Amino acid sequence: MTASLMVDAPALSERLAVVRAGIADAVATAGRDPAEVTLIVVTKFQPASLGRELAALGVRDFGENRHQDAQPKAAELADLGATWHFVGQLQSKKARQVRAYCRVIHSVDRESLIDAFTSEAGVNEHPPTEIFLQLNLTDDPSRGGVSDSGLESLVERVLAVPGIALRGVMAVAPLDEEPRSAFARVRAASERVAALAPDATAISMGMSGDYAEAILEGATHLRVGSAITGNRPVAG
């Protein structure tokens, strides 16, 4: 068990290089501009030291899914000047704390969360928080994400609120569907959002197993964890 917690620096750089090459290939196949695609390395459950090693390899964007882990890690690595992305389910009462260290929140899926941003005193103390609206691609409400039918009204709500900037949509491919077809549905939802909010064209999708399919369907923000970091240490 201990061995799996040890970080092998050459292996890390090799895994990162493999993912970067895979991204470059998919971008070329899709005929897209590499500058449109941002790689976010999801470092959840990993020690802050891994973030430092990744930064030395040129990683500038980190993703985390639990506030209690992410906050101290972001603080310890504040000198890196990295961009922190929150990708996990978020409780409204934590929204304000997360906003203090994450410039981007990918998992906004309900009005109460948006209201938590508005009800803040000192709403101007941060630069605008960039947000993605998370789509639920399943019929299971516990998976997180707004249902297809609720998307437009959530967009309207976000646009009415100062201090947050809508970037686009985010999704996780369901386990029981081909990623490519799930991502095509996200692309269609993205077009609906852009019809209401012309600047909100970003698409956050694609993980270790499906980032190439995501790129082919227009992903602009990839959230890749284990393919780069190796197996995650057991939580807790």
Ligand X SMILES: *Cc1c(COP(=O)(O)O)cnc(C)c1O
Please say which residue, 35 or 235, places its beta carbon nearer to ligand X: 235
Q: Least distance in Å: CB of 226 to ligand X?
A: 4
Q: How many CB atoms lie within 10 A of CB 187?
A: 16
Please say which residue, 63 or 199, places its beta carbon nearer to ligand X: 63
Encoded tokens for 213: 């399919």
**Closest to 105 measured CA to CA, from 66, 135, 123, 131:** 131
Segment interacting with ligand X (CB under 6 A) among 9-17, 75-83, 91-99, 218-226: 218-226
Question: Does 208 engage in binding with ligand X (CB under 6 A)?
Answer: yes
DSSP 8-state secondary structure symbol assigned to residue 130:
E
d(CA 23, CA 115): 36
- Binding mask 70-89 toward ligand X (x if CB under 6 A, else -) reads -----------------xx-
**Closest to 163 measured CA to CA, from 196, 198, 116, 112:** 116
Segment interacting with ligand X (CB under 6 A) among 54-62, 66-74, 109-117, 221-229: 221-229
Query: DSSP string spanning 31-60?
Result: T--GGG-EEEEE-TTS-HHHHHHHHHTT--
Angle at the Cα of 122 from the Cα atoms of 101 and 127, rounded to 5 degrees: 45
Please say which residue, 166 or 224, places its beta carbon nearer to ligand X: 224
Segment interacting with ligand X (CB under 6 A) among 145-153, 181-189, 193-201, 225-233: 225-233
Please say which residue, 44 or 167, places its beta carbon nearer to ligand X: 44
Question: Does 97 engage in binding with ligand X (CB under 6 A)?
Answer: no
Label the pairing between strands 129-134 and 202-204.
Answer: unpaired
Scan residues 132-161 and list those touching ligand X (CB under 6 A). none
Instruction: Give how far Cα 20 sits from Cα of 34, 40, 78, 105, Å.
Output: 11, 11, 25, 23
Q: Least distance in Å: CB of 135 to ligand X?
A: 12
Run of H or E residues at 223: strand 221-224
Question: Does 65 engage in binding with ligand X (CB under 6 A)?
Answer: yes
Q: Which of residues 172, 193, 197, 219 is near ligand X by CB under 6 A? A: 172
Please say which residue, 88 or 168, places its beta carbon nearer to ligand X: 88
Question: Does 193 engage in binding with ligand X (CB under 6 A)?
Answer: no
Please say which residue, 88 or 218, places its beta carbon nearer to ligand X: 88
Question: Does 51 engage in binding with ligand X (CB under 6 A)?
Answer: no
> Counting beta carbons within 10 angstroms of the beta carbon of residue 112, is it exposed (0 to 12), middle (13 to 18) or buried (19 or more)?
exposed
Name the residues that contact ligand X, by CB under 6 A.
42, 44, 65, 87-88, 172, 207-208, 223-227
